[in-house]
Structure 1
């Protein structure tokens, strides 16, 4: 019961990582304000989850809605202890040479400005709360190219820098700010923007899970609970000496190319050694 008596606000809570994190915090005693634009999914989550879960409809692309969410949580419980800025989607997919300004802006509003405003409107209700903590969702896409579309990657890198800047701004109030960088987690984020049927989306999710498990040292697909556990740690008193930090939870996919961890995949040096051995054998034969 690490969060008994604490008020937690979670955005993007109706499914995936947000839903699993909501269930985890509620099971450990928190009053959770679970917000999302998916009203049906959010209300179902609140009804089916053991513990005190209160659904609030909120579009994180609307700063006024974010402010109303934070104000409601504080008015009903007396303050806010933990904020998990989780809401997001894949954003615009075109490369930088094709993306339109409105596509870029929508992606930044959803993935970066929403985090900034989540912090902005939560802080007045977090000052003076012992153990106050904010956790922001970044991504392994912030590590470098190749993990996501360009706009998404840039926004998630922005979240990392925002996390560091916010940690310094809020240290005077005793509020910690950290980030989580998920790898390929089996949620709807990769398929929600695809114009395919539900059955095809399920097949696509299964294919993505298999591809990710094959591409990383930990040979299984990432699950929402993997991220929820890490978020709970960062928000808990066990992480009280951490602020401005980022935790990568990715099954090791960012450790390096496949040959760095798969003994059956020859890398550059193995190839050079093989060439050297071939040359030596040819020289001996000659």
Structure 2
């Protein structure tokens, strides 16, 4: 009997925040590509339902990423159940503290840091504990456009998402000699429960979220969890065997090409050439045209 085919056939993956949104989309994509997947989340009902949907090669483990014992047990369970750990996707996150900087409630700020940065650090620590002696592995962590741009996210959320990038790049440098890669994805606004809670009628209003995001889309449609999952699968696969220390935006150009291009304006359609010191130069001689 042969095993499942796919780019991740034979691999073992852990996905934190795996019960919904980007996490659930990635669990489905990993599973479709042949991986065995541990779904880690505090949402026990949703996590169990996802595992029931996908069936064999999946396992749910209730995990609080703020708690080191919980993360340690998650990684140990993955190894005990599936024999190894090849992919750690640190995806669990919350919006957390919101509001003006001068009214920030520090309990809310501390919770935001605990989930979004401490949780990633713990995932990296315990994945590396297994991957370094194994001599292989991939650690992928979720950041945000708010981690590289001002004005698109809450203050503390923006800070910790920037911190995820710095942490991952530093860890990539350490783990490279061990054959372990560390990378980051930056999803744009995705049609998910988290986004729906911000822009629509509540976490369950995915149709409302899709409609709201459609009005501000950068390309032909709003981003879906599967769009982000496709990028995560690439980074997790051997197609990216020499890719480490990178930040991959999956955001329809929001962070890298967010502004409108003047070259897309019709007024430039017949003005190929160049400009210097405020004037056009290099136009062809009309008598040579």
The interval holding the TM-score normalised by the smaller chain is 0.7 to 0.9
TM-score between both structures, scaled by the size of structure 1: 0.85
For structure 1, the residue ranges without an aligned partner over 5 or more in a row are 267-275, 277-286
TM norm structure 2: 0.84
Deviation of 1:112 after TM superposition, in Å, equals 0.8
Equivalent residue runs for 1:1-286 within 5 Å: 1-129=6-134, 131-192=136-197, 201-202=205-206, 204-213=208-217, 216=218, 218-254=219-255, 255-260=257-262, 263=265
Q: Tell me how large the CA RMSD over aligned residues is.
A: 2.3
Matches of 1:193 and 1:66, distance apart in 2: 28
Deviation at 1:259, TM superposition (A): 5.0
Alpha-carbon distance in structure 2 between the residues aligned to 1:172 and 1:229:
27
CA distance change for structure 1 residues 149 and 46 in 2, over 3 Å: closer, same or farther? same
User: What does the per-residue CA deviation read over 1:117-145, in whole Å, with 9 as the maximum and x for residues that have no partner?
Assistant: 00111112112445410100011111211
**Which segment is superposed worse, 142-151 or 6-15?**
142-151
Gaps of 5+ in 2: 1-5, 269-277, 279-289
Give the count of matched residue pairs: 263
8 Å Cα contact 1:59/1:65 also seen in 2: yes
Q: CA–CA distance in 2 between the matches of 1:263 and 1:164? A: 38
- Relative to structure 1, the CA distance from residue 29 to residue 150 in structure 2 (aligned partners, 3 Å threshold; closer, same or farther) is same
Distance 1:81 1:197 in 2: 36
Q: CA distance change for structure 1 residues 19 and 203 in 2, over 3 Å: closer, same or farther? A: closer
Alpha-carbon distance change, 57 to 142 in structure 1, aligned in 2, over 3 angstroms: same
Quote how far apart the aligned CAs of 1:198 are.
6.3
3-state SS, counterpart of residue 132 of structure 2: coil
